[in-house]
Structure 1
Amino acid sequence: METLPPVSLILTKLNASHRVFEHKTSIKSIEQAAAERGQVVSQVVRSILFRIGKDEFIMVLVAGPAQLSWSALRAHLGQSRMTMATKEEVLCVTGYPIGTVAPIGIASPIRLLADKNVFVHDEISFGSGKRNTAIMMKRKEFQKILGTVEIGTFSKEDS
């Protein structure tokens, strides 16, 4: 019997309605992931971790292939210096390896920001904590599970 991915186990304990999608092949691009899930690329939510100080991190959710606007993030945070977390930091802070990260079940409490375009579609998908496996769920359920999120205009297409 195959075990559920970590994020699915957490969502199940929270009685959150969701589906687990297992890809048949290794995912090489966000476009491939979306196509195999029967979604458009903007329904795929990426969870990106940034270091904003010594042992201080934030996570930013972005829809699809949109590029983050560093200037918009810096302005929102009131920070001039920030860097993307290393793969070691991502694993340590979130408990998930890069490519599987989700904003749910994070190992350390963390400030969560989301580009407004994350919440456009009725259904979204995101990392499950397991390679080549995604969580798919309704946007409203996702928002409820996330709790406090700072929503803003953080992608270059919007800035």
Structure 2
Amino acid sequence: MTHNPPVARALQAMGIPHRVFRHTRPITSLEEAAAARGQSPRQIVRSILFRTGKESYVLVLAAGPEQLSWPALRRHLGQSRLTMATPAEVLEVTGYRVGAVGPLGLKTPLPVLVDASVLAQEEISCGSGERGVAVILRVEDLLRALGDYQVVNLR
């Protein structure tokens, strides 16, 4: 029997419908991941951890391969300076390795910002907490699972 990854376990505990997708070979790009999952690249939601202070962080969910606007993110957060978390910080704060970060089941509770690009999709996939495994679910179900989040335009 195959075990469920952390994000799937969190969704299951909340009674939120989802599917677990296991890649059968290593994935090297967002486009490759989307094709394997039968999705468009814009349906892949990246979970990106930013450091906003010495020991403060925010998790940003963004759809697709496009870059986020750092000035828009700094403005929204009221920060003149922010940086992407290092791989060591990502593991320490989320409990997940870079490439596997999902928005649920985090080691540390974090503020979550959802880029408006995510809302343009009906169904998305996101990190599961394990590399090579994704969770697929409806956007409305992801938002219900998040509970406390802010939607912002970071493009």
Same structural fold, with TM-score higher than 0.5 when normalized by the shorter chain: yes
Alignment-derived partner of residue 84 in structure 1: 84
Alignment-derived partner of residue 36 in structure 1: 36
Deviation at 1:12, TM superposition (A): 1.1
Secondary structure of the residue that 1:51 maps to in structure 2? strand
TM-score normalised according to structure 1 size: 0.95
Q: Which runs of 4+ in 1 moved over 6 A?
A: none
Secondary structure of the residue that 1:91 maps to in structure 2? helix
Alignment-derived partner of residue 26 in structure 1: 26
Contact 2:7/2:128 (CA < 8 Å) preserved in 1?
Answer: yes
Distance 1:2 1:145 in 2: 23
Distance 1:111 1:143 in 2: 13
**Identity of aligned pairs, percent?**
49
> Equivalent residues in 2 for 1:56-67 (5 A)?
56-67=56-67
Alignment-derived partner of residue 109 in structure 1: 109
2:69 is aligned with what amino acid? S
Q: How many residues align?
A: 155
TM-score normalised according to structure 2 size: 0.97
Deviation at 1:83, TM superposition (A): 0.5
Work out whether 1:15 is the aligned partner of 2:1: no
RMSD (Å), alpha carbons? 0.8
For structure 2, the 5+ residue unaligned runs are: none
Contact 2:122/2:138 (CA < 8 Å) preserved in 1?
Answer: yes
Deviation at 1:139, TM superposition (A): 1.0
More displaced stretch, 146-155 vs 43-52: 146-155
Secondary structure of the residue that 1:135 maps to in structure 2? strand
For structure 1, the 5+ residue unaligned runs are: none
